[in-house]
């Protein structure tokens, strides 16, 4: 039997592009997208269902109806919004995951994908070349929920032999669907504003360096991890994954190479600064490279060219 894939939280920044890639790979009839709201637009013949991942009965019903071989759980509240609604963030990020893990075991789902984040690291984690294993003391509710989620994934793998796979995404940059409520979102907004207004005010300071990844690499990496033979995967919590690292100053200089009149300014005292300051600057992803052959293909320069080219024709 071929694969049938259910994506929970398919309308978001990563979900919308993963869904498109999965439809290309497995055929539109084999991909079921779902979210708490109707999508802004649907792909041709897209199978879409409304679901709140906190409604376990409804999730169970979808599992039974479609009998997916793989489930991607992408519904989550990100770091900045999480600080505004900590209880809700914890509830959604933890109980959504627990519902899916439990049902996946009960109903025999072959593979589960769940995204973690660089937010699992904290002020005492090494900032540069951050290793897979080190002190992890996240201080955002988002990071705390992701770290707990990683422990659950590993636990379900060990205890129930569930084939659950995960990536600690850095900030993901894309032009099709804008992210919402994250600390790394500035690196997406800056391109949109450069083309719309020729200027951008960054909520992170000019020297704030963070790990980032272009969407094409994020999607390819995710599919590569999901395709990798199970016995090659030495990590069942979540893999560090690196693409590039840059500061608001670096990205603005790169944009100025293409749009010379672009201007950047900075705000002070944004609450997202403290979150960014607690995260790594550069991540070590040796395990992903060794276990399943990960290699990013975009750097800041090639990503900037691609972003601007694509946004020019869509904005
Ligand atoms: N991009 C996410 C955020 O900023 C990190 O996982 O919240």
pLDDT digit string (tens) for 74-100? 999 999 999 999 999 999 999 999 999
The tokens for 285 are 């992803």
**288 burial type by CB count under 10 A (0-12 exposed, 13-18 middle, 19+ buried):** buried
Q: Are 236 and 154 in contact (CB under 8 A)?
A: yes
Contact by Cβ (8 Å): 194, 266: no
Boundaries of every domain in the chain: 5-171+214-240, 173-212+244-312
- Helices 56-66 and 96-107, packing angle to 10 deg: 40
Q: Is 116 in the pocket of ligand 1 (CB under 6 A)?
A: no
In the predicted model, what is the mean pLDDT of residues 256-284? 97
Name the residue of 75, 78, 138, 188 to mutate for ligand 1: max ligand atoms within 8 A of Cβ: 78
What is the pLDDT at residue 117? 98
Does the beta carbon of 138 lie inside 6 Å of ligand 1? Answer: no
156 carries an active-site annotation: no
pTM tops 0.95, yes or no: yes
Query: Distance, CA 184 to ligand 1 centroid (Å)?
Result: 6
How far out from the chain centre does Cα 187 lie? Answer: 14
Model pLDDT for residues 105-118, shown as the tens digit of each residue? 999 999 999 999 99
pLDDT of 315 reads 83
User: 173-212+244-312 belongs to which CATH class?
Assistant: alpha beta
Residue 134 to residue 130: CA distance in whole angstroms? 8
Residue 196 has pLDDT above 70, yes or no: yes
Q: How confident is the model at residue 1 (pLDDT cuts 50, 70, 90)?
A: low
Q: Which residue has the tokens 């770091």?
A: 79
118-169 tens-digit pLDDT: 999 999 999 999 999 999 999 999 999 999 999 999 999 999 999 999 999 9
Q: Which long-range contacts (CB under 8 A, 24 or more apart) does 141-144 make?
A: 141/82, 141/83, 141/86, 141/89, 141/90, 142/77, 142/78, 142/79, 142/82, 142/83, 142/89, 142/93, 142/117, 143/79, 143/117, 143/119, 143/278, 144/90
Catalytic residue among 142, 186, 214, 239: 142
Q: CB of 258 within 8 A of CB of 306?
A: no
The continuous run of DSSP H or E covering 289 comes out as helix 286-292
Q: Residue 67 has what pLDDT? A: 98
Query: What is d(CA 8, CA 215) in angstroms, rounded to the nearest whole number?
Result: 19
What value does the mean pLDDT of the chain take? 97
| Per-residue pLDDT tens over the stretch 206-230 | 999 999 999 999 999 999 999 999 9
The confidence score (pLDDT) of residue 173 equals 98
Nearest CA to ligand 1 atom 6: 117
CATH fold group of domain 5-171+214-240: Rossmann fold (3.40.50)
Tens digits of residue pLDDT in 54-75: 999 999 999 999 999 999 999 9
Band of pLDDT at residue 48, cut at 50, 70 and 90 = very high
Name which residue sits closest to atom 3 of ligand 1, judged by CA.
182
Residues 6+ positions from 116 with CB-CB distance below 8 Å: 146, 147, 149, 150, 166, 167, 168, 169, 237, 238
Which atom of ligand 1 is least distant from the CA of 181?
A: 7
Q: Quote the CA–CA distance of 252 and 117 in Å, as a whole number.
A: 24
Q: Per-residue pLDDT tens for 233-253? A: 999 999 999 999 999 999 999
Q: Which atom of ligand 1 is nearest to the CA of 78?
A: 7
pLDDT at 137: 98
């Amino acid at each position: 039997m071929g694969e049938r894939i259910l994506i929970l939280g398919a309308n978001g920044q990563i979900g919308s592009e993963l869904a498109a890639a999965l439809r290309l790979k497995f055929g539109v009839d084999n991909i079921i997208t779902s979210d708490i709201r109707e999508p802004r637009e649907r792909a041709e013949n897209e199978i879409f269902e409304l679901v709140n991942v906190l409604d376990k009965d409804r999730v169970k019903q979808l599992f039974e109806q479609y009998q997916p071989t793989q489930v991607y759980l992408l519904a989550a509240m990100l770091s900045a919004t999480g600080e505004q609604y900590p209880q809700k963030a914890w509830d959604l990020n933890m109980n959504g995951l627990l519902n899916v893990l439990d049902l996946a075991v009960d109903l025999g789902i072959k593979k589960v994908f769940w995204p973690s984040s660089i937010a699992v690291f904290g002020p005492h984690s090494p900032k540069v070349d951050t290793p897979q294993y080190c002190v992890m003391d996240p201080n955002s509710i988002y990071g705390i929920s992701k770290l707990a989620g990683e422990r659950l994934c590993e636990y379900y793998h060990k205890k129930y032999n569930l084939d659950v796979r995960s990536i600690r995404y850095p900030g993901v940059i894309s032009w099709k669907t804008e992210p919402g409520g994250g600390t790394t979102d500035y690196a997406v907004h800056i391109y949109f504003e450069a083309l719309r207004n020729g200027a951008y005010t960054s909520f992170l300071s000019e020297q704030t360096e963070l790990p980032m990844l272009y969407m094409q690499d994020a999607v390819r990496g995710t599919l590569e991890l999901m395709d990798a033979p199970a016995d090659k995967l030495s990590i069942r919590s979540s893999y560090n994954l690196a693409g590039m690292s840059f500061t608001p100053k670096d990205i603005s200089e790169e944009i100025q190479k293409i749009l010379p009149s672009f201007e950047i300014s900075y705000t002070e005292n944004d609450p997202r600064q403290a979150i960014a300051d607690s995260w790594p600057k550069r991540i070590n992803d040796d395990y992903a490279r060794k276990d399943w052959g990960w290699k990013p293909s975009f750097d800041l320069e090639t990503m900037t060219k691609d972003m601007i080219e694509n946004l020019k024709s869509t904005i």
